[in-house]
Amino acid sequence: MSNERTEPGTSRPALVRSSEGRMIAGVAGGIARQLGLNVTLVRILFTILTVNGIAFLIYFAIWLLVPDDTDDGSGKTRLRHPRDVPRAIFRGRAGDDPHRLQKLIAYVIVGSLIGSVLGAFGLHTGTASGLPVSVAIIGALLIWWRAPEAQRAQWSSDARRYGSRISRRGSLFVVLGGVGLVIAGVVAFLAAHDALAQARAGALAIGATFLGVLLVTGPWLFRLLRELTAERRERIREHERAEVAAHVHDSVLQTLALIQSQAGDPDAVRRLARRQERELRGWLYAPEPTASEDGAPSFATALRTAAADVEDTHGVSIDVVVVGDTTVDEAVTATVAAAREAMVNAAKSSGAPAVSVFAEVTAQGVEVYVRDRGRGFDPDDVPADRRGIRDSIVGRMARHGGTATVRSGDGGTEVALNLARKVNA
């Protein structure tokens, strides 16, 4: 990802922090790349210069100011706030980082180093304080190391609900361990200087003050927090309500207005009501699962759509029950078209207010039954110019290797369509 920036012979690449093989923040790697030096050399230089503290400051300045080489300008990893720093180091989930262990070790080393350095020259306190300070700093680094993840786990309620308990505990233990190390380090440091008694007095004063402030402001803070949560919940609820209201207005209320204006026409009212019912159902309940994943319409969807069309056009109610599903090919499309024709016939000629459609997809093939309880007819009596059944149903099925049988009598009419599945399918 950074090859173009390190091409030899060209002008020097811009100074960016290295994202690969970094020990802490990629500062040394970046400098090495920019100056064309060996990374290890730069690191050793840094370590030596750390003794007088300058390199330490330089390192942190570069860390904060110089962008990462993976920063594509989208601002995602740019360091705007100090809290971005840990995120910039551990981009993505910490679990994805292949060098976690090395980094942990590096932190321990850095912590000890800083502790020793401070102990050695900054504080004139003798050698006894080196170890405690190191321990404290290692602890602090540990807290820092885990902070983003722990915060994420704590602040996001999703993480709290779905996150793995163990991993959260793990990170909690690390943070607690870090806190323990810091406290132990500080206490040991103070003890080493016989300042524990003084510190205790100071700590007592600070603690008492803190407790007092907490007592005074605590209830208020708590209430504020609760109000914030309540307000947020309320806002979400309000948003959902507005969405539902918008939908109901666009669909149901409009339809009701139409129904009122057409109250004299029962057919129109029934049609409007049926369409609205279907639409509302589709909205309330997730769309029916389809057989095909690639977005091609499924047989069930096609049949339901056809039924909905006939319902709308002819003002009858059509109940569709589909068992199984399949993808649509030419023959299946023809079957749906034939079924549609049968529905139209039932709607137009039978006089029945309702039509039942049952379709079953099995290993053997596709079967569709369109049934009404209206007045039946004798298929042989159908005039020659009414070609619906002969051509659009029987003929269409026959052309695609299927069959269609029409049974009609006093109890109504049933058209049965049967499409045997292709052998190679």
Indicate the helix (H) or strand (E) that contains 409: strand 402-409
Give the Cβ contact number of residue 284 at 10 Å: 8
Q: Which is nearer to another protein, 108 or 280 (CB)?
A: 280
Query: Minimum distance between the CB of residue 331 and another protein, rounded to whole angstroms?
Result: 21
Calpha distance 160→44 (Å, rounded): 43
The window from 56-64, 179-187, 259-267, 366-374 that contacts another protein (CB under 8 A) reads 366-374
Q: Judged by CB under 8 A, how many residues of this single chain contact another protein?
A: 23
Select the residue interacting with another protein from 144, 283, 358, 377 (CB under 8 A). Answer: 358
- What is the DSSP code (8-state) at residue 416? E
Instruction: Check the CA dihedral 324-326-332-336 and report its sign.
Output: positive
We find the least distance from the C-beta atom of residue 284 to another protein, in angstroms, to be: 8
Q: Is 283 in the site for another protein (CB under 8 A)?
A: no
Between residues 166 and 286, which has the closer beta carbon with respect to another protein? 286
Position among 371, 393, 396, 417 found at the interface with another protein (CB under 8 A): 371
CA geometry: angle 43, 128, 186, nearest 5 deg: 85
Applying CB under 8 A, among 19, 50, 356, 392 the residue interacting with another protein is: 356
User: In angstroms, what is the minimal distance from the CB of 371 to another protein?
Assistant: 5
394 CB contacts (<8 Å, ≥6 apart)? 404, 406
The answer to whether the beta carbons of residues 376 and 411 sit under 8 Å apart is: yes
CB 350, min distance to another protein, A: 13
Range 284-323, binding another protein (CB under 8 A): 284-286, 288-289, 317, 319, 321-323
Minimum distance of another protein from residue 335's CB (angstroms):
16
Nearer to another protein, 354 or 382 (CB): 354
Angle at the Cα of 52 from the Cα atoms of 49 and 54, rounded to 5 degrees: 65
Cβ 375 to another protein, closest distance in Å? Answer: 16
Question: Could you tell me the smallest distance in angstroms from the CB atom of residue 13 to another protein?
Answer: 55
- Here the tokens at position 8 are 């030899």
State which residue, 148 or 412, has the beta carbon closest to another protein: 412
Q: Which of 3, 281, 384, 410 binds another protein (CB under 8 A)?
A: 281
- DSSP per residue over 179-222, as a string? HHHHHHHHHHHHHHTT-HHHHHHHHHHHHHHHHHHHHHHHHHHH
DSSP 68: B
CB of 64 closer than 8 Å to CB of 25: no
| Both structure tokens of 269 | 């009212």
411 near another protein, rule: CB under 8 A: yes
Name the one residue in this structure whose structure tokens are 């399918």: 425
Residues that bind another protein (CB under 8 A): 281, 284-286, 288-289, 317, 319, 321-324, 354, 356, 358, 360, 362-363, 369, 371, 373, 411, 414
